[in-house]
């Protein structure tokens, strides 16, 4: 008690007036959750939702803006700003928009607001541009009807825009300009923007006029705490309600805690995989590629490096993706079979370089050492190379020289999650702009084509399953694992990690007593 007293005394000592953090406005009646503070690993680059659609940006955007369509906790598509949608031509989707909604500044929400978002998102300075490449045009039909035209028939179009596409208030946007809007955003969402101290926190307060009913919290604070163990400490200490990206190493600290607990997702949205350079002689033999896969003990990696917070893989797609096929199990660990396959293949030079980036692949040093040791056991002669992230990616993108500076086997991640089929497609399609390993297979290309054009769930699912099976049989990848998302959660609230890694305040509730 004494300790607590000392702390509050210190807390009340103001620094200088200009350094005070933004305070959250309090309404007359406190909402059931009070103020929710979320300790995140990264600050945003912009608050303009049309300029960035990465997951950590959407944590904040989801509160200020509303998505056009959304996903529920089971990854099912649900209406939001759009009440219904239909395909009126092979390449045209028609959206009916909700009526009677206002932006937080009083502007009425109309179809042109969504069109503005799309137009801004497609500009060269937008980091959302790649995900909108499928869209050729947005057309306003009437105030509450919008047509979106895609580049040819795209069956997975709806998946790719769910929880990404939203709306910008045209009058205000025109008045302040894109740059200023990125600092002072206005949306239709349940929380209004209050302040942003870069590198420190973004403060939001509840929007009492929200069309979807009273928001559950008085305010939401996104607090940037870059260090993983500091995030864990912040939640354990009661300073934060939720902590993102907790290192598995920190998990035991929560076992004995009365203030906070760990919640982990069931699958991972940032799978780790290995790419075998298909243009090098050693990997042209399928048996060698299979041997590489059989030699690596994924379960041991998951158990040791991730303390069990991971899931071994045996296919391209991660659990939360539509292309995931539950019938395909994880790759078995069978060094004896690997050895005999290598003998059969009769490779003379067994030297390979294992290459990984520091940063995008967590614990790259430890991971490459384990994989190298596994591969050495079956007879490979492995040398390891670790690069800083952007050096590594520069080598991958050196398409002019066929990636000559990339190691024979490189370890990388991809951003998965629902709606990220395009990512896998870019990685494995012959013409994909992320096909760094030069994997060309006519059959695989055909399945992708089929999946893109099949608007019926059945044939599409079938094409994707055939694709998964084909790649599993072809083994161009060293299938590795999905690291689970590990969150620290205060015992003051009830909340469970979602499959899509989103933080939605409406999912939270007061702790069950």
Residues that bind another protein (CB under 8 A): 3-4, 6-7, 10-15, 18-21, 45-46, 48, 51, 124-125, 127, 129-131, 133-134, 178-179, 182-183, 197-200, 223-227, 229-230, 233-234, 236-237, 239, 359, 388-391, 393-394, 397, 422-423, 425-426, 432-434
The answer to whether 468 and 315 are in contact (CB under 8 A) is yes
What are the backbone angles phi and psi of residue 267, rounded to the nearest 5°? -130, 175
Q: How far is the CB of 106 from another protein (least distance, A)?
A: 26
CA distance to 311, 368, 409, 411, 437, per residue, from 385 (Å):
25, 9, 10, 10, 17
The structure tokens 């989801």 sit at: 62
- In angstroms, what is the minimal distance from the CB of 39 to another protein? 8
Cβ proximity to another protein: between 137 and 334 the closer is 137
Q: Which is nearer to another protein, 309 or 434 (CB)?
A: 434
Cβ-count burial of 285 within 10 angstroms (0-12 exposed, 13-18 middle, 19+ buried)? Answer: middle
Q: Which is nearer to another protein, 21 or 88 (CB)?
A: 21
Say which residues have a Cβ less than 8 Å from residue 286's Cβ, sequence separation at least 6. Answer: 474, 475
Between residues 18 and 74, which has the closer beta carbon with respect to another protein? 18
Question: Rounded to the nearest whole angstrom, what is the least distance from the CB of residue 6 to another protein in the complex?
Answer: 6
Give the H/E segment covering residue 281.
none
Please list the residues that pair with 272 across neighbouring strands.
413, 481
* Residue 449 CB, nearest approach to another protein (Å): 16
In whole angstroms, the minimum distance from the beta carbon of 508 to another protein comes to 22
Nearer to another protein, 334 or 398 (CB): 398
Rounded to whole angstroms, how far apart are CA atoms 483 and 127?
25
Task: Give the nearer residue to another protein in terms of CB position, either 127 or 461.
Answer: 127
For another protein, which is the closer residue by CB, 286 or 385? 385
Burial status of residue 54 (CB atoms within 10 A of its CB: 0-12, 13-18, 19 or more): middle
CA distance 113 to 186: 12
| Cα 41 from chain centre | 14
Question: What is the smallest separation between the CB atom of 485 and another protein, expressed in angstroms?
Answer: 20
Tokens for 383, please give them: 């040398």
Q: Closest approach of Cβ 297 to another protein, in Å?
A: 31
Q: Return the number of the residue (207 or 422) whose C-beta is nearest another protein.
A: 422
Q: Between residues 46 and 465, which has the closer beta carbon with respect to another protein?
A: 46
| Residue among 26, 170, 80, 90 nearest 504 (CA) | 80
Q: Which long-range contacts (CB under 8 A, 24 or more apart) does 340-346 make?
A: 341/287, 341/288, 341/290, 341/291, 341/294, 342/287, 342/288, 342/291, 342/378, 342/379, 344/287, 345/285, 345/287, 345/288, 345/291
Give the nearest distance from C-beta 400 to another protein in angstroms: 11
Task: Give the span between the Cα atoms of 157 and 347, in whole angstroms.
Answer: 44
The distance of closest approach from Cβ of residue 236 to another protein in the complex, given in angstroms and rounded to an integer, is 6
């Amino acid at each position: 008690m004494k300790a607590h007293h000392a702390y509050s005394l210190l807390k009340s000592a103001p620094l200088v007036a200009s350094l005070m953090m933004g305070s959250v406005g309090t309404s007359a009646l406190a909402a059931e959750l009070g103020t929710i503070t979320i300790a995140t690993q990264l600050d945003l680059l912009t608050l303009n939702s049309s300029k960035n659609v990465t997951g950590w940006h959407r944590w904040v955007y989801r509160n200020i803006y509303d998505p056009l369509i959304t996903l529920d906790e089971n990854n099912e598509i649900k209406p939001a700003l759009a009440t219904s949608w239909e395909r009126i031509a092979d390449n045209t989707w028609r959206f009916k928009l909700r009526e009677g909604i206002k932006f937080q500044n009083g502007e009425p929400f109309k179809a042109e607001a969504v069109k503005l978002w799309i137009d801004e998102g497609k500009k060269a300075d937008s980091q959302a541009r790649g995900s909108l490449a499928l869209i050729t045009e947005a057309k306003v039909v009437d105030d509450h009807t919008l047509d979106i035209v895609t580049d040819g028939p795209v069956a997975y179009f709806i998946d790719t825009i769910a929880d990404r596409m939203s709306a910008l208030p045209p009058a205000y946007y025109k008045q302040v300009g894109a740059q200023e809007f990125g600092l002072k955003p206005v949306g239709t969402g349940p929380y209004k923007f209050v302040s942003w101290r870069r590198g420190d926190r973004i403060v939001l307060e509840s929007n009492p006029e929200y069309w979807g009913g009273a928001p559950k919290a008085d305010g939401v604070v996104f607090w940037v705490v870059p260090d993983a163990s500091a995030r864990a400490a912040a939640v354990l200490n009661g300073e934060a309600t939720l902590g993102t990206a907790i290192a598995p190493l920190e998990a035991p600290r929560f076992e004995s805690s009365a203030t906070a607990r760990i919640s982990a997702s069931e699958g991972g949205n940032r799978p780790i995989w290995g790419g075998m350079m298909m243009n090098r002689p050693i990997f042209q033999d399928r048996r060698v590629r299979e041997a590489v896969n059989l030699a690596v003990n994924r379960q041991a990696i998951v158990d040791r490096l991730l303390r069990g917070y991971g899931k071994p893989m045996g296919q391209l797609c991660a659990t939360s993706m539509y292309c995931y096929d539950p019938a395909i199990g994880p790759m078995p660990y069978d060094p004896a079979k690997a050895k005999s396959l290598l003998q059969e293949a009769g490779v003379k030079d067994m030297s390979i370089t294992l290459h990984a980036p520091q940063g995008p692949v967590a614990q790259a040093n430890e991971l490459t050492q384990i994989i190298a040791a596994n591969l050495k056991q079956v007879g490979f002669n492995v040398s390891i190379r670790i690069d800083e992230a952007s050096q590594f990616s520069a080598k991958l993108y050196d398409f002019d020289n066929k990636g000559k500076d990339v190691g024979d086997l490189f370890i990388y991640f991809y951003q998965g999650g629902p709606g990220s089929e395009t990512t896998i497609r870019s990685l494995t399609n012959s013409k994909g702009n992320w096909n760094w390993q030069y994997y060309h297979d006519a059959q695989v290309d055909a399945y992708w084509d089929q999946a893109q054009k099949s608007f019926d769930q059945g044939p599409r699912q079938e094409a994707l399953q055939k694709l998964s099976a084909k790649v599993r049989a072809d083994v161009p990848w060293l299938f590795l694992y999905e690291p689970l998302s590990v969150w620290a959660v205060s015992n003051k609230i009830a909340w469970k990690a979602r499959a899509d890694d989103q933080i939605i305040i409406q999912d939270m509730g007061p702790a069950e007593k």
